[in-house]
Structure 1
Amino acid sequence: MSEFDFGDRSLQGRPLCCARFEVGGIMDLGASPWTTRRIGYITGGRFEGPRLKGEILPGGGNWSTAGVGEDGAATGTFDARCIWRTDDGALIYMTYTGRTWVPPDVGAAFRDPAQPDVDPGRYRLRIAPVFETSDPRYAWLNAVLAVGVGERLTGGVRHFIYEIP
């Protein structure tokens, strides 16, 4: 067996939670010499999963960048930060980075108010969240690396987040 053989090291995620972020107005900073940047302000939301549930507090945000790939699709990155409060009062700091891939026809549909929902199979929205808390009931989150699959919603975004054990 080669040292580069993956063997049975495939990543198997288990559901951590589903998080719905409500996003206020998007501030489009436009194209700078380096990138096109947009900032989305989190106005609230909710998360629920087998081991945690609660609310997403207002005040966080997502500082995203975008460019156009060779295929004409908008490709982008995330830099998001927010505070979650569990239903039993614990505070959790959650950050994530990630990538998007949005073909031109989907980008046009996103901008068209007559098409509020676009099939998430037509674009990619992927995140890699990490968590931080001082609450001993949720200390296990401090060691979690997660991945998420997102979909755009009217007024926000929903991420299905999986723990990678």
Structure 2
Amino acid sequence: MTISLSHVTDLVVQLSRPQEMGDCPAGTRRIIPIVGGTATGPLLTGRILPIGADWQTVTADGIADLDARYAIETAEGAVIEVVSKGIRHASAEVHARIAAGEEVDPREYYMRSAIRLESGHPEYRWVNRALFIAHGGKVANTVHLSVYRVD
């Protein structure tokens, strides 16, 4: 059996200033509010609602554990919950460029997420029956993700 991927949407997730929690037992913690954005693609288009956050933990060796939860609203009025768990790692030099707001080619670092989507809207119940993966990168105060359904 082979696994294939179907492109679902491209997300541009807008972030506001992180709330730094400092050095905690698991690593350096921060909460990054999600304040809007867009979803544009062949199977899912809409706007990212200004609710949610990425609860990030950065380990001593520089791996960012990403744990985001937010929602997309489609033109049909469907609200789709997004639960995204992933990792990002980069060299110290690339991380500094990203932190400075520079647009860094995502091929220069690793950022991947496993995503679950959920909706009660009749036209979008298909999202409840699939797993999704995403790759992308951070650009200034946004995160860009290309989302694929695992078929």
Query: TM-score w.r.t. structure 1 length?
Result: 0.87
Q: 132, 135, 140: which one pairs with 1:154?
A: 140
Residue 22 (str. 1) matches residue 14 (str. 2) = yes
Q: Is the 8 A contact 2:98 2:140 kept in 1?
A: no
Which residue pairs with 2:91 in the alignment? Answer: 103
TM-superposition CA deviations, 1:64-113 (whole Å, max 9, x none)? 111133xxxx2121111111100121111111101111210011112335
Q: Compared with structure 1, are the counterparts of its residues 68 and 12 closer, same or farther at alpha carbon in structure 2 (3 Å cutoff)?
A: farther
Identity of aligned residues (%): 29
SS in structure 2 of the partner of residue 68 of structure 1: coil
Q: Deviations over 1:5-62 (max 9, x none)?
A: xxxx343211011011000011121111222111110110000111220000001110
In structure 2, give the amino acid aligned to 1:104.
A
Aligned with residue 78 of structure 2, among 68, 90, 111: 90
Q: Runs in 1 of length 4+ with deviation above 3 angstroms?
A: none
Find the counterpart in structure 2 of residue 64 from structure 1. 56
Unaligned regions of 5+ residues in structure 1, if any?
Answer: 1-8
Where do 1:2-151 residues align within 5 Å?
Answer: 9-69=1-61, 74-112=62-100, 116-151=102-137
Structure 2 gap segments, 5+ residues each: none
Moved more, 104-113 or 129-138: 104-113
Q: Between Structure 1 and Structure 2, how many residues are aligned? A: 151
Aligned-residue CA RMSD in angstroms? 1.2
Using structure 2 for the length normalisation, give the TM-score: 0.94
- 3-state SS of 1:64 partner: strand
Distance in 2 (CA, whole Å) between partners of 1:36 and 1:94 is: 24
**Residues 94 and 117 (structure 1), Cα distance of their counterparts in 2 relative to 1, 3 Å cut:** same
Residue 133 to residue 149, structure 1, CA distance change in 2 (3 Å): same
